[in-house]
Structure 1
Amino acid sequence: MDFDWLNTFLEVARQKSFSRAAERLHVTQPSISAQIRALETYLGHRLLDRGGGKVTLTAAGRVFQPFAEQSLIQLKHIRLTLEDMERMPRGTLTISANDSTALYVLPLLITKFKKQYPRVSLNIIRAERSKTIALVLDREVEFGIVSLPIRDPRLHIEVIHEDKLVLVVPAGHALTQLKTVTLSDAAKYGFLVPKEGRRRELIDHLFVQNKTARRITMELDSSELLKRLIVAGLGISFMPRINFLEEIKAGLVQAIEVEGVNIPRDLGIISLHSVPLARAASAFFTFATGTTRPDPGTDAIDVGEELEDESALAIGTPPPRTKSS
């Protein structure tokens, strides 16, 4: 059924005349008659009585009139909603990130994004790095935010946050009295380390690479608990500086530069290269990166291509600054 038929029917009913309705709608009278016939044929009922020199509604026409009016109102509402979506994205996005990123990086980003796009709902899944990558590859989340570098031709990768790991010690720790701190100096004290994940890999590699032994006093699966234990004076660790900004300002801990040690901890937003972004997802990507992610093309890399061995990537290698494709 054509919506124009409904508009024509209602105008004829209001004007009680085919000719006046034609004038109002700026069409010919035969066109009005053809549309009414088509509508009546479609419904299988006569809607207008044309006898007696005027046009009146039949019983079926009186029943049909409010439905026609409501249908046109709904059509207008749908059009306005779709136009509004073009101006203001809406929908739901799901993002996966580890505890540290979810607690210290995402809140500021999400707060600013929601001010600009209040109709987009964001769900956050807290998962460690490998799980986050798997969720993106399995299309269970639109985006993951993970530490770099990462190489996978199935993923589009953009840097969104640059940071580094620093040695964090409790206030008044003996290391704070040294003018210069070496890795050997730090290794004399008990380390608190994550049980697994990219940060644990970076810390382990650092000591192996420098042929320095260190004493692990505790392995933890929570970055927040690890942080609290450092503040309580129960150990030291290499941690992202952003995690301790408030504690450093309050004098509860101190971030120490270790001579010859540079551990970048840049974060990237990852998405499945072969899947186009919906409007809300595209808005978030552009907001987070300042760039527009190109739609997947016919030249996308075969997902079966052999992946680069991450273990071969040297600690401190600068992360990619452009998409991985």
Structure 2
Amino acid sequence: MADRRLQVFHAVAKHGSFTRAAEHLFMTQPAVTFQIKQLEEHFNTRLLDRGHGRVGLTPAGEIVFAYAERILGLSDELEARVSELTDELSGYLNIGTSTTIAAYWLPHLLEGFKRRYPRVIPRVVVGNSQLTEDRVAARDLDVGLIEIVTDQPGVERRSAARDELLVICHPGHPLARAKKLTAQELVGHAFITRDPGNAIHVLAEQFFQAAGIGIEEMSVCAELGSLASVKHLAAEGLGFAIASSAAIQRDIREGRLAAIPLDPPLYTPLEVILPRDKFRSRLITTFADYATAEFAHMATALLKAL
């Protein structure tokens, strides 16, 4: 309902880039440029400074940006309040999720939610847990599903469940014969790790540090952003990795990977996060409640299956 020109201007100012604003709004860059030109003509003044690879606000632009935030916020609240007069939830839901949750938890989660609320349209953005946390704190997303415990002041967190992390390797790897593995027993073996910002990367570093072992002492042979690539290299015998139990059940059943618990056990949290102090529609609250309960249910079912 809000003026489209204000929406586009707000996105450009917030992202500091016409290109990133266009991606965020699912628009072409020429269309974004046209909307900004229309708004500047309306106010008869320049609102944006272009240069040095980033877009900045003029003094007039700063005033318009402040009011745009308030107007757009009230517009969203108005739309949500009116839609809540009907019994059926509907509308877009912007969800951010870590890669592991996206692959192994989210499909079941969305299936159940869509069956209950078929008029809801989820928009899912996948990234590592740190990136998702940052986007929720910046209010770019309605809700986030991550695997780290956040302490960001701009984020409200709900601890839903936890998933055990296991060492994975080829069934013929020397580590596969162990019942449990300490940090010291992993030193010297080729280590396939995740990308920085990934929850498992962070937790693995903490696991080794707790045993007095710096990550530089590990024989890192690859640092990968894709869990599928991590599992493939481990299954081919190129080293060991640390992975979520939920992510490896099929590989274990089919004999591609062996999984060994860590000693002491290591768990990744499953967290539902929301922007703090932001108006929260019934749709967002309902999904957050559902995700929290469903995570707990699925984690319990997974534990029984092990």
- How does the TM-score come out when normalised to structure 1? 0.60
Identity, in percent, stands at 23
Match of 1:252 among 229, 249, 256: 256
Match of 1:273 among 273, 276, 290: 276
**Structure with the higher strand share, 1 or 2:** 2
Alpha-carbon contact 1:89-1:283 (below 8 Å) kept = no
Unaligned 5+ segments in structure 2 are 1-81, 295-306
2:182, 2:141 → 1: CA distance?
42
1:129-208 to structure 2, matched below 5 A, reads 129-197=129-197, 198-208=199-209
1:143, 1:237 → 2: CA distance?
29
Unaligned 5+ segments in structure 1 are 1-81, 292-325
2:156, 2:270 → 1: CA distance?
13
State the Cα deviation string for residues 134-181 of structure 1 (Å, max 9, x = none): 211222110111123211332221123311211111122222223553
Larger radius of gyration: 1
2:83, 2:93 → 1: CA distance?
20
Alpha-carbon contact 1:165-1:264 (below 8 Å) kept = yes
2:262, 2:134 → 1: CA distance?
34
State the Cα deviation string for residues 207-229 of structure 1 (Å, max 9, x = none): 22212432111111222211221
* Residue aligning to 2:232: 228
1:179, 1:95 → 2: CA distance?
38
Q: Which secondary structure state, in structure 1, belongs to the residue aligned with residue 168 of structure 2?
A: strand
- 1:266 CA displacement: 0.9
- 1:257 CA displacement: 1.6
Match of 1:264 among 240, 263, 267: 267
Match of 2:219 among 215, 227, 231: 215
Alpha-carbon contact 1:170-1:253 (below 8 Å) kept = yes
Please tell me whether residue 242 in structure 1 is matched to residue 243 in structure 2. Answer: no
Q: 1:239 to 1:104 in 2, by over 3 A?
A: same
- 1:282 CA displacement: 2.0
1:237, 1:265 → 2: CA distance?
15
1:151, 1:83 → 2: CA distance?
33
In the alignment of these two chains, the number of paired residues is: 209
* Residue aligning to 1:10: none
Alpha-carbon contact 2:165-2:262 (below 8 Å) kept = no
Q: Root-mean-square deviation (CA), in Å? A: 2.1
* Residue aligning to 1:127: 127
- 1:256 CA displacement: 0.3
**Structure with the higher helix share, 1 or 2:** 2
2:276, 2:96 → 1: CA distance?
17
Alpha-carbon contact 1:100-1:224 (below 8 Å) kept = no
* Residue aligning to 1:286: 289
Give 2:88's aligned amino acid.
M
2:185, 2:118 → 1: CA distance?
50
Alpha-carbon contact 2:83-2:90 (below 8 Å) kept = no
- 1:83 CA displacement: 8.3
* Residue aligning to 1:306: none
1:90, 1:152 → 2: CA distance?
30
